[in-house]
Amino acid sequence: MPKNLFPLDSTKSFKDQDIVGHNRWHPDIPAAVTVNPGDTFRIDCREWFDGDIKNDDSAQDILEAPVSKVHALSGPFHIKGAKPGDLLIVDILDVGPIPQEDEGPLAGQGWGYTGIFAKNNGGSFLVDQFPDAYKAVWDFNGQTATSRHVPGVSFTGLIHPGLMGTAPSHELLKKWNDREAALIATDPNRLPPLALPPEPKDAVLGTLTGDDFDRVAAEGARTAPPRENGGNQDIKNLSKGTRVFYPVYVDGAHFSVGDLHFSQGDGEITFCGGIEMSGFIDVHVDVIPGGMDKYNVKENAIFMPGNVEPRYSEWISFSGTSVTLDGEQRYLDSQLAYQRACLHAIDYLTTFGWTPEQVFLLLGAAPIEGRFSGVVDIPNSCATVYIPTAIFDIDVRPGAGDVPKIDPGIGAPRAANA
Amino acid sequence: MPKNLFPLDSTKSFKDQDIVGHNRWHPDIPAAVTVNPGDTFRIDCREWFDGDIKNDDSAQDILEAPVSKVHALSGPFHIKGAKPGDLLIVDILDVGPIPQEDEGPLAGQGWGYTGIFAKNNGGSFLVDQFPDAYKAVWDFNGQTATSRHVPGVSFTGLIHPGLMGTAPSHELLKKWNDREAALIATDPNRLPPLALPPEPKDAVLGTLTGDDFDRVAAEGARTAPPRENGGNQDIKNLSKGTRVFYPVYVDGAHFSVGDLHFSQGDGEITFCGGIEMSGFIDVHVDVIPGGMDKYNVKENAIFMPGNVEPRYSEWISFSGTSVTLDGEQRYLDSQLAYQRACLHAIDYLTTFGWTPEQVFLLLGAAPIEGRFSGVVDIPNSCATVYIPTAIFDIDVRPGAGDVPKIDPGIGAPRAANA
Amino acid sequence: MPKNLFPLDSTKSFKDQDIVGHNRWHPDIPAAVTVNPGDTFRIDCREWFDGDIKNDDSAQDILEAPVSKVHALSGPFHIKGAKPGDLLIVDILDVGPIPQEDEGPLAGQGWGYTGIFAKNNGGSFLVDQFPDAYKAVWDFNGQTATSRHVPGVSFTGLIHPGLMGTAPSHELLKKWNDREAALIATDPNRLPPLALPPEPKDAVLGTLTGDDFDRVAAEGARTAPPRENGGNQDIKNLSKGTRVFYPVYVDGAHFSVGDLHFSQGDGEITFCGGIEMSGFIDVHVDVIPGGMDKYNVKENAIFMPGNVEPRYSEWISFSGTSVTLDGEQRYLDSQLAYQRACLHAIDYLTTFGWTPEQVFLLLGAAPIEGRFSGVVDIPNSCATVYIPTAIFDIDVRPGAGDVPKIDPGIGAPRAANA
Amino acid sequence: MPKNLFPLDSTKSFKDQDIVGHNRWHPDIPAAVTVNPGDTFRIDCREWFDGDIKNDDSAQDILEAPVSKVHALSGPFHIKGAKPGDLLIVDILDVGPIPQEDEGPLAGQGWGYTGIFAKNNGGSFLVDQFPDAYKAVWDFNGQTATSRHVPGVSFTGLIHPGLMGTAPSHELLKKWNDREAALIATDPNRLPPLALPPEPKDAVLGTLTGDDFDRVAAEGARTAPPRENGGNQDIKNLSKGTRVFYPVYVDGAHFSVGDLHFSQGDGEITFCGGIEMSGFIDVHVDVIPGGMDKYNVKENAIFMPGNVEPRYSEWISFSGTSVTLDGEQRYLDSQLAYQRACLHAIDYLTTFGWTPEQVFLLLGAAPIEGRFSGVVDIPNSCATVYIPTAIFDIDVRPGAGDVPKIDPGIGAPRAANA
């Protein structure tokens, strides 16, 4: 085990640790730890809601999940000598749930959760079909996940950090805040909102205090979206063995990481869709001086996925196009096409006995693949979603015989506003 | 070789064959061939432009490609006993270029092509960056493709039909025409257009003649978009060994197929983006009576990909988010995010010496994967594109040393309007 | 399709073709065809027994199979300029059953066969347990094989030539004949024999006639074993996309090929164990001048397998060690260990209802993997065999519930000496 | 992390732990730990020589490695209720090097080793070509291994236990001792020996003392070979996610495990050929009552490999046949054929600059595959070995250009008897 440079105590809140991380992006958040290019080290990570979501059979915590608290990020790590214009190399050597704790109240202690966010709390990819909150708790058995809330399935986790990135420069931060404010201004009261503006409430900003804290809390970008610096990309393939290259915008790069997932389907479609957990990540960092110009990488991470992803060989797959459920034709809208493909998967799998929300939770959590199949065939995009058949206890392939039925058990807990 | 029920003579035009196919969707196009459930048979397919695109070093043919002529489809095949509400099973047993002809003027005779469509002729996924027409001719050597227009790359084809589907009912056809007309009406003069309305010019409708021909030509849906019946889905994974399930909307299902690709990247992003060719497909058909209700499949194909896709183990990958090149923030727009990811790939690979259009043509043709990585992290979708490193003759991984350079050779032919 | 330089007429015997191949190894067999380095061409291949094995429900033909007739080889191909000391590059571009003939009496016309050879006719890997002859006929459906003689299984073929190689020099041929004669002399009456000496009966030697024929027939090495020149290696992984490098021992290399298999398990354990068929192979040839010294390759093929092998993800696996069934301890004998592993697989799978010979035939034909797991742990070698679970219609994994049973149907035909 | 039921202190010898394991097989070694079917737990494992092999640049320790001390096994674990005739299910949930210790003198503390055993100390698979002792130390960086003694290569570990098994019954133990004694008696002075008889020296037998200790030490079977109970099978594919089924011969099954490898090539051909290390393994155990009869499993493990093995897609492969280096023809000897294939790999790779012993060490340690390709083609077996090209820093594929050369660095340390 490499040296742990960012240890977290599972019995304490994220704000009460010896080293305090952050949950906003801002160049003025001080480095928590300084390392050298070439260093290998461990980082503990806290689950994104800092323990607010419980291992129980209620979705009330999902309904009320305080979005202002996310994401609990470990960092910033200052990489000595890294300069704006460099590329930061991050090798993911290992990543997993909390290693010394197999049970306990904190996600990552042998379990994790997936939530469908309610419409009035951010919503999900299928918010119109699923306006209420739902939760599934997943148990970890080695690298396998199962859930009492979604019986009849098990799958091998493709463990990865949902969020990694470098600090923005002041200039880049301003660009973010400006463009997102402009979007929000087009429909400021929309539910769910179009974007999340800076929010001082619940801001955690490392060692900052006083006026500096207040200023940075008022300016800091929220961590929900991926942006030029990487950020919350939710790329399920950033698993063990992956090498990622990030643009460097500030001296020392100021790398941060969090939002570990035991598994996730492409798109993280339930919003809280991967299997959320606390855990650790072992990384090796290095720098390509001048790499942004050298390789013409102005923004966004580039990466090379690792070679130990779970091997599946058979999929049941669904397609969708950019026509709304109401029959309206949209122009080359892959977002909509993927929604329709996912809805088709839900329609299909419910014939085997699962409830729609159980399938939706499964699609958010299992290693499904979502692909852009056709993006130019006017006016319809075609999107496809691939579900490994081996994750089901029953045979879910279409055929001539009777449709086997699963017992949906206690179902997925639901919570809705009055 | 199974019996060829739809032979095509490479020396004759698509309209002059013994059995004439079609290039519009309409329930009243008569069946060309009748088969039984359980039958296995071969179908010849003509490349989508019926031979108009040449194996030469000019892109003039791409610039002037007559979109009213596409897609040359083989069929309809009437499957006896299939009824509306059934699911049609289509097993792809084999698919490839024209088997007896290794050279000649018709795409599929040992070669194929990829085109970037010009803005005034349909455009491409990156039409703003690439407004002119470009072409690449690919040579087939066994299952490997190379191109004099894109030197320094070779890859294993994932051969598949871009277009398969069943005939729409009259009701479904009306729905298509209505909703697409409504979309066109929002911006009827847009260039490229939002959608393609019925077009009698160049219509090919099997054995129809006279008034029936004129009526069907006036009503028939264009074949460019994928729709409820499958259609031009351009799913690269529909390769050998794949089983597809199509909704049946008319008696006999009236299955048709065409638009064979020697290879294609996810999205077929250059519009004419797979490697287009004539060839053959061997299929086995069967029926699940009442399958649409039984499995809750109301529309769009579901499928199980085959197990002989080319095996690659290392990818260089790029991400993009839903911010425009001009810096405008869009709301969860995966279409845009995938454009940005593809542009990042182009930016990157041009540092090795290829021209931007060469990389664009490559991304359209090679077995790249395009994935929905994050679709809920407001306001940014995150899309990712994965390019196998093994398809390049040089090492394209980022590193500490010098960037190796390729000789771009004669480049990709270009043609533009005066 | 590349030009066919070695066409075979399915209605005529191997000896009555326009171009006659050979079934012995000898440097003096004249070249049948001459090609240049860099050429791509098609070669038809006849099944190894030249049509003596029938598509019926009797194993009499297997019992009486005339071993003196094998292997019907297409060639020799003279590659211009190739010299002793070079390496011959052979790219397998495509390989498959007879393309224009889906049914007929010749293996390769839509079907193939697997045989267990009887003890008095060569025997098999498990000759003591299976002294009689058995046969299974397999039907091809696209790339899938099934058999009325082994119901309940189907698998994707990994099509390959069992035998490819270059002609030996006179010196090398003498070495073969000397060392094999020495082995035979240690137990000349053994049944099955230790090796097969030159045999003029049934020799086919291309265009040779008269005294030359008689001399070469008396000296020519039998084609059963693999040797320094490649030969009957039965490497199932030499499938489409594979590049093989052969030592060159005579001017022009004199390459020959035959013994096509639709599929085969590692070891080809029933002796006639792949799915034997006639068919075609498309190859590209080239030469590395002085390659044998350059790469220190003095003998035996080296190769790089293609990247479109069937993808399986779950296996039921069996191990064996070098202790005989009678309990005698042998010293690090991997041959024995693999026999024991295969016997364990047979013991196991018979609990599901198949007969032992059905399982044995399956292991010879299906894409099973046989590995050297431990070869140094005195006194026991450990060998393992991996069977994809997806090839079975029923779930063959061990578990807590009842063992599902298959109907073995008509079983595998058997024939024995009186 | 599941509860650790068999903790080991890295600062103490294997004999001085709180719970003492064993290094001989005998039914009378008392259970060290008792668990229930269905339990999940962690087990620490000591490297097989209990720390005698050092992280240095000398092979003296390999030359003098005390074979009487191996293998340090953790266990026996008594599984309540397991009875002779049952099958013991062991799920490997996780396995890795010592988790809390990244550096230190004990293999598994961030490093491991591979040794070629000298002829007078057991020897290796290629003992005639490599009579002396050699060593390579491998450093672990995440899941990747590199070595200062074998520069220019790196590979992803396929971590697994080399040895797992159940205790033999008295009857089975007697059978082992009898048959191995009979083998030894055929050539009692052979160097290296044919087998290892019981050896009281250095025996570790858990809590046994006094006369019981002496009796069991005199009777206990050595752990080197795999046998009916599983044992030292060295199956590299028993990695994370694997399910193994062992025959149960004594009440409580008495399961033991050890000999962890960070990686290993098929065959473990250097004898000490995997990358040896201390570490941990997390297992889940269960029982199939009467499983031996139910599934006809009389002996030897059956297993289902996990689905997260490292993914490689290109191999350079070598074949060999059963002719000795002196040119003597042997009869269907796969052991010899695999030796010849490995020697061909060594001959080939030395042209790139590595020394023969460096390649040999690499083949023992890297995830190479060794397959039985042909086992019936009298008189020659054909064996093949597959080496992933991606593990080399340089391009090792044969081609037209110059052969790239690696700097072999300090080489692999060597030690020989005077």
Pick out chain B residues at pLDDT < 70: none
Q: Report the candidate in C19, A236, A83, C335 with the shortest Cα–Cα distance to residue B383.
A: A236
Integer-rounded Cα radius of gyration of chain C:
21
Q: Residue B388: which H helix or E strand, with range? A: strand B382-388
Mutation target to probe the B interface, by most B beta carbons within 10 A, among A270, A375, A386 is: A375
D383 touching chain C per CB within 8 A: yes
C320-368 pLDDT tens trace? 999 999 999 999 999 999 999 999 999 999 999 999 999 999 999 999 9
Instruction: In whole angstroms, give the CA distance from residue A259 to residue C213.
Output: 77
pLDDT band (50, 70, 90) for residue D231: very high
Concatenating the DSSP letter of every residue in C82-145 gives --TT-EEEEEEEEEEE-TT-SSSSSTTSSEEEEEEPPGGGT--TTTTT--SEEEEEEEEETTEE
- In contact, A346 and A356? CB cutoff 8 Å: yes
Q: How many CB atoms lie within 10 A of CB A143?
A: 23
Who among B99, B156, B307 is closest to C241 (CB)?
B156
Distance between CA atoms of B14 and B98, rounded to whole angstroms? Answer: 15
Is residue C376 within 8 angstroms of chain D, CB to CB? yes
Beta strands at A33-35 and A73-79: parallel, antiparallel or unpaired:
parallel
- The rounded percent of chain C whose pLDDT value lies above 90 is 96
* H helix intervals, A97-202: 170-185
Tell me, yes or no, if A390 comes closer than 8 A to chain C by beta carbon: yes
Retrieve residue C263's tokens. 């599929």
8 A C-beta contact, residue A146 and residue A392: no
The number of angstroms, rounded, from the C-alpha of A372 to the middle of its chain's C-alpha atoms is 20
Q: Which residues of C touch B282 (CB under 8 A)?
A: 142
E-only strand ranges, D142-292: 144-147, 155-156, 160-166, 226-227, 230-231, 243-247, 255-261, 271-276, 279-288
- Strand segments, DSSP code E, in A267-363 are 271-276, 279-288, 302-304, 315-321
- Rounded to an integer, the average pLDDT of A103-111 is 96
State residue C273's pLDDT score: 81
Give CA–CA dist C203/C180, Å, rounded.
19
The C-alpha atoms of residue C271 and residue C92 are separated, in whole angstroms, by 24
Q: List CB contacts (< 8 A) between C327 and chain D.
A: 175, 179
**Residue B208: which residues within 8 A CB-CB, separation 6 or more?**
B28, B29, B30, B216
Question: What integer pLDDT is reported at residue A55 of this predicted model?
Answer: 98
Write out the DSSP string of C263-327.
Answer: ---TB-TTEEEEEE--EEEEEEEEEETTHHHHTT--SS-EEE--S-PPP---EEEEEEESB-TT-
Q: How confident is the model at residue D100 (pLDDT cuts 50, 70, 90)?
A: confident
- Six-digit token string for A38: 């070439």
Looking at A86-207, which runs of residues are DSSP E strands? 87-97, 111-116, 133-141, 144-147, 155-156, 160-166
Peptide bond into A413 cis (omega under 30): no
Q: Which of A290, A217, A229, A222 is nearest to A254 (CA)?
A: A229
Q: Give the chains touching D; criterion: ≥3 Cβ pairs < 8 Å.
A: A, B, C
CA distance A375 to A337: 10
Average pLDDT over residues C47-54: 97
User: How far apart are alpha carbons B275 and B140 in whole angstroms?
Assistant: 10
Interface residue of C144, C314, C397 to substitute, partner A, most A CBs within 10 Å: C314
Separation between Cα atoms, residue D184 and residue D191, nearest integer Å: 11
- pLDDT tens-digit readout, C191-236: 999 999 999 999 999 999 999 999 999 999 999 999 999 999 999 9
pLDDT over 90 (residue D78): yes
Three-class SS state of C210 = helix
* Closest residue in A to B243 (Cα–Cα): A316
Window 232-251 of A, Cβ < 8 Å to C: none
pLDDT beyond 80 at D1: no
- In Å, how far from its chain's centre is CA C179? 23
Angle made by CA atoms C277, B242, C279, in degrees to the nearest 5: 15
Cα nearest neighbour of B127 on chain A: A376
Please write the tens of the pLDDT for every residue from B249-292.
999 999 999 999 999 999 999 998 899 999 999 999 999 999 99
Cα–Cα distance measured from residue B263 to residue B312, given in angstroms and rounded to the nearest whole number: 15
- Given CA atoms A166, B341, A238, D262 in this order, what sign does their dihedral have? negative
Which residues in chain A (165-224) have CB-CB distances under 8 A to chain B? 175, 179-180, 182-183, 192-196, 224
Residue of B nearest to D393 (CA): B395
**At D176, is the secondary structure helix, strand, or coil?**
helix
**pLDDT at D418 exceeding the cut of 90:** no
Q: Quick one: pLDDT at residue B218? A: 98
Taking the Cβ of residue C312 and every Cβ of chain A, the question of whether any pair is shorter than 8 Å is answered with: yes
Per-residue pLDDT for A418 more than 80?
no
**How far apart are the C-alpha atoms of C312 and D12, rounded to whole Å?**
45
Give B320's contacts in chain A (Cβ within 8 Å).
Answer: 300
Report the distance separating Cα C334 and Cα C343, nearest Å. Answer: 14
CA A64, chain centre distance (Å): 19
* pLDDT at residue C275 greater than cutoff 90: yes
CB of C134 closer than 8 Å to CB of C413 = yes
Average pLDDT over residues A337-352: 97
What is the C-alpha separation between C132 and C270, in angstroms, rounded? Answer: 11
- Average pLDDT, integer, range A169-185: 98
User: How sure is the predictor about C311, in pLDDT bands with cuts at 50, 70 and 90?
Assistant: very high
Which residues in chain A are closer than 8 Å to D240, comparing Cβ atoms? 142-143
| Mean pLDDT for the stretch of residues A69-78 | 97
Number of CB atoms found within 10 A of residue B300's CB: 28
Does A93 sit within 8 Å of D142, measured CB to CB? yes
Q: If you average pLDDT over every residue of chain D, what do you get?
A: 96
CA distance A77 to chain C (A): 39
What is the DSSP track for B241-279?
T-EEEEE--STT--EEEEEEES---TB-TTEEEEEE--E
Query: What's the pLDDT score for residue C417?
Result: 80
CB contact C312 to D (< 8 Å): no
Residue in B283, B268, B121, B262 with CA at minimum distance from that of residue B191: B121
Whole-Å CA distances, D18 to B272, C132, D5, D28, D65: 71, 59, 11, 20, 25
Q: Which chains touch A (3 or more CB pairs under 8 A)?
A: B, C, D
In this structure, how many other beta carbons lie within 10 angstroms of the beta carbon of residue B389? 16
Write down the pLDDT at residue B273.
80
Predicted confidence (pLDDT) at residue C418 exceeds the cutoff of 80: no
What percentage of chain C carries pLDDT values higher than 70?
Answer: 100
Closest CA to B384 of B368, B402, B364, B399: B368
Find all residues with CB under 8 Å of A174, minimum gap 6, and list them.
none
| CB neighbours of residue C216 within 10 Å | 24
- Which residues touch B95 (CB under 8 Å, ≥6 apart)? B159, B160, B161, B239, B240, B260, B279, B280, B281, B282
Residue for token pair 């983006």: B273
Closest-CA residue to A168 (of A21, A43, A28): A28
Which DSSP state fits A104?
S
Does pLDDT of D2 surpass 90? no
Which residue(s) pair with A276 in the sheet? A113, A261
Express each pLDDT in B317-365 by its tens digit.
999 999 999 999 999 999 999 999 999 999 999 999 999 999 999 999 9
Tell me, what's the pLDDT at A158?
96
Name the burial class of residue C189, with classes exposed (0-12), middle (13-18) and buried (19+) by CB atoms within 10 angstroms of its CB: exposed
For residue C407, which amino acid is it?
D
State the Cα–Cα distance between residues A376 and A381, nearest whole angstrom: 7
State residue D381's pLDDT score: 95
Residue identified by tokens 């892959």 is A334
Instruction: Tell me the C-alpha to C-alpha distance, in Å, between residue D305 and each of B287, C321, D309.
Output: 37, 19, 9
C33 to C21, C90, C252: CA distances (angstroms) = 10, 16, 11
Compute the distance between CA of residue C263 and CA of residue A295 in angstroms, rounded to an integer.
46
